[in-house]
Amino acid sequence: MDGVALLRPEEQVFAAMLTGFANQQLARNLARTTVEGRENTVKAFTAYVNTYPWNWTPAMVDEWLGDLRSLRDLKRSTIRSYSEAVRSFCHFVTDPLYEWTATCEERFGTHPVQVVHEWNTAVHVQDNESDPKKRAFTKAELHAFFALNRPGFDRDLRLWL
């Protein structure tokens, strides 16, 4: 894009960023569904804040995630997934190897920064966050279940372990 006058520079630079982000993830052998999901999340965040990545702030992320949690009652794991998508995108566009900071500085007089940090990101508080009715059994629970329902299970289990 160097030296080329763009018709709609903001839209075109953002589209190029998304294409580069997708290519970088595919090069890392991530699933296409993961790549598309992250792109959709970044687009949703962009629409919510109504500005492009070179103008994003951590406060915008706080507001967006807070609204998703309080107004839409999204699960913690979904919120974490969304914040990770934005974090990954910001990591990509702020990496000097991809030169987006220089491109944005030249075209818009500012550049993207990382807006998702440990102080505005939910952390795992337990090994398994799923609904307790859907979680996997522990080894002890499996042992107790099968031992009750099948005589001789203890002996067979020792052979497997």
Residue 77: what pLDDT?
87
pLDDT at position 72 over 60: yes
Assign 148 a pLDDT band (cuts: 50, 70, 90): low
Enter the tokens of residue 32.
Answer: 């296409």
Residue 30: what pLDDT?
96
Do 78 and 49 have their domain in common? yes
Distances (CA, A) of 6 to 15, 18, 19, 67, 112: 12, 17, 17, 35, 19
Find the mean pLDDT for residues 13-19: 98
Residue 130: what pLDDT?
59
pLDDT at position 134 over 90: no
| Residue 101, helix vs strand vs coil | helix
Number of structural domains the chain divides into: 2
Residue 7: what pLDDT?
84
Assign 154 a pLDDT band (cuts: 50, 70, 90): low
Do 104 and 33 have their domain in common? yes
Residue-averaged pLDDT of the chain: 86
Assign 144 a pLDDT band (cuts: 50, 70, 90): confident
Ramachandran angles phi, psi of 101, nearest 5°: -65, -45
Do 99 and 135 have their domain in common? no
Tokens 């372990």 sit on residue: 161
Q: Which domain holds residue 157?
A: 130-161
Do 52 and 102 have their domain in common? yes
The type of residue at 32 is R
Task: Identify whether 112 is part of a domain.
Answer: yes
pLDDT at position 149 over 90: no
In this structure, are residues 43 and 64 in contact, taking their beta carbons and an 8 Å threshold? Answer: no
Find the mean pLDDT for residues 38-61: 98
Task: Give just the sign of the alpha carbon dihedral 123, 97, 92, 90.
Answer: positive
Find the mean pLDDT for residues 107-115: 97
H helix runs in the chain, sequence order: 9-27, 32-49, 58-70, 76-94, 100-108, 139-149, 153-160
pLDDT at position 161 over 60: no
Do 88 and 115 have their domain in common? yes
pLDDT at position 9 over 80: yes
The residue that leads in pLDDT, 138 or 74, is 74
| Residues contacting 37, CB < 8 A, separation 6+ | 81, 85
Residue 131: what pLDDT?
62
